Chains A and B, each alone.
Chain A
Amino acid sequence: MAVTAKPTLDADKLRADFPIFDQSFHGKPLAFLDSAASSQKPRQMLEAMTRFYETSYANVHRGVYQLAERATEALEAAREKSCRLINAPEAREVIFTRNATESLNLVAYAWGLTNLGPGDVVLVTELEHHSNFVPWQYIAGRTGASFRMLPLDAGGELRLDELEAVVGRGTAKVVATNLVSNSLGTVNDVARLAAWAHERGAIMVCDAAQAVPHKRVDVLALGCDFLAFSGHKLCGPSGIGVLWGRAELLEAMEPFLLGGHMIKKVRLEETTWGDLPHKFEAGTAPMAEAVGLGAAIDYLGEIGFEAIEQHEHELVEYALGRFSELPSVTLYGPPADRRAGIVSFNVDGVHPHDVAQILDLEGVAIRAGHHCCQPLMTKLGVAATNRASFYLYTVPEEIDRLVEGVRKAKKLLG
């Protein structure tokens, strides 16, 4: 029998890189199952930021002195790394923002305000995070475009067969979807949506906040026009995000934020904009954060995205299997082979807040709430769910502790 070796990683060993696990909570070791909200930080990334502050820190691009040049090089090296991470054609197409939310707002405002109008359709999905929903709803409202939502099927997957019906006779101008859902873990067929969008003359905006940290993402293979992600979910620091966009679109766009650094020439009568990426980077850049992001990308790259994806796949299979032992647990979302390392569930008769609080006392950190996906919660007919999410440092014993804690919550309150 032919055996294909699957890439692997040693989560137990990797945990030693993460200082947070040295602590205990309520007297128990920390089982951190909330990486979809934000990931923990490896020492290598933290040290890179410290080193930058200690040896290379000055404001970038504006200085004549050597130190400023060193800082500029560090920032631009991080841009190169981000560019390669998503297989973007050119580094000038990579814009640093504060987070994925700001990246998506940038597109909605800077592209949407000038390109949308009455008769146009902006299409999002029922699975969207509010960050890829609310900006589009708002800009559609301001421009008179129609704002619509592609529905989900009962299994938590997009109804691609409904595309034509939802758009109807309107002119599709924007299709905006996530690549991986933060609530259900659904992996969406962005390449197919992008092909459909382009056939209709629409742009494809991909929210990859939950994808880039966990799997290899290639903007060319996806065929999208814009892609957004956050540094803090991929072992990087908070305060930095990325927007990638196709150069010809970015060049044609108005700026988003205005002020220092994004200009070419300022006169009383008129100001002209800088070249890409600077046109979209007003004000002092998140420099150390960019360096941290670059270090995080290196860290993940050494482990390998295939190994990370495979590890999380094994965890999610294990978790779904363990949860199926509990008849009081309702699971949401697709089967393991079409989902990322995220498990949303409810416990019959026990409110998610109570589940999460009881788990906290067991040292198990999960999220309980609407996960910034209220349209999805409406669809599921619940106000909130529990969500456990995994990363490269998650080990199966933590899932065992999760299942034990859920059992306890049910016994106590159900």
Chain B
Amino acid sequence: MADRYAGLVSGFDDLYRENILDHYKNPRNHGRIEPAGASAEGMNPLCGDEVTITVAFDEDGETIGDVRFEGRGCAISQASTSMLTELVKGRRAAEVLAFDKDELLDEVGIPLTPVRLKCAILGLHTLKVALGRATGAETDADEDIDVR
């Protein structure tokens, strides 16, 4: 943890690094797939961040052929979900269910306090729930996040 905070003094431009701003302002894979092979709506009731993720599987029924999201909330939650969609496209559901959140956090690339961490993993958690439902697999749930 100590190391995560070490960079916290970095400053304004670092924190909202261009990468995050870019994903926030120009979200990738934005929208909704209908009908979807897997879907879930996630919400962080503490700050009101929301994302809805929909997935279309390839013919093998397990490879993520397409994934889209809609949502609203803070820059971290929306940008990290946008990054997530790029990371998981083409991967198999089982692989994404085992996806380590650090892989996503590395992509987000800025140090986050525990409160903001919840924002950063909202999309990942929601996607895991969606995939878990579609495949019947267990997910490692975060209790602070509501998923419908």
Contacts and interface: CB of A to CB of B under 8 A. Distances in A.
B143 to A, nearest CB: 18
Nearest to A408: B12
B15 interface: yes
A370 interface: yes
Interface stretch (A3-11, A139-147, A348-356): A348-356
B91 interface: no
B47 A352 contact: yes
A368 B115 CA distance: 11
Interface string B23-59: 0100000000000000000000011110000000000
A413 interface: yes
Nearest to B46: A369
A358 B16 contact: yes
Interface residues of B, number: 19
B77 to A, nearest CB: 8
B16 A383 contact: no
Nearest to A382: B48
B91 to A, nearest CB: 29
Interface string A357-393: 1100110000011100000000000111000000000
Interface residues of A, number: 19
Interface in A7-51: 26-27
A412 interface: yes
Contacts of A384: 47-48
Given A369-B46, A369-B47, A413-B24, A353 B11 contact: no
B9 A27 contact: yes
A351 B11 contact: no
Q: Which of A26, A351, A361 has the most CB of B within 10 A?
A: A351
A354 B75 contact: yes
A377 to B, nearest CB: 8
B64 interface: no
A305 B101 CA distance: 51
Contacts of B49: 351, 383
Given A26-B9, A382-B48, A383-B48, A353 B76 contact: yes
A354 B12 CA distance: 11
Given A26-B9, A27-B9, A412-B21, A354 B74 contact: yes
Interface in B64-98: 73-76
B119 interface: yes
A361 B46 contact: no
B74 A383 contact: no
Q: Which of A370, A383, A408 has the most CB of B within 10 A?
A: A383
B116 interface: yes
Contacts of B48: 382-384
A354 B119 CA distance: 11
Contacts of B73: 351
B15 A353 contact: no
Contact of B74 (A26, A353, A382, A412): A353
A361 B12 contact: yes
Contacts of B115: 353
A362 B127 CA distance: 35
Contact of A413 (B11, B47, B75, B116): B75
Given A26-B11, A357-B116, A413-B24, A370 B46 contact: yes
Contacts of A408: 12
Contacts of B75: 351, 354, 413
A283 to B, nearest CB: 32
Nearest to B25: A413
A27 B8 CA distance: 11
Given A353-B47, A384-B47, 19 more contacts: A26-B11, A27-B9, A351-B47, A351-B73, A351-B74, A351-B75, A352-B47, A353-B76, A353-B116, A354-B76, A357-B15, A361-B15, A368-B47, A369-B46, A384-B48, A412-B16, A412-B21, A413-B16, A413-B24
7 contacts: A351-B73, A351-B74, A351-B75, A354-B74, A383-B49, A412-B21, A413-B16
Which 6 pairs, one residue from A and one from B, show the smallest C-beta to C-beta distance? A383-B48, A351-B74, A353-B74, A361-B12, A354-B75, A354-B74
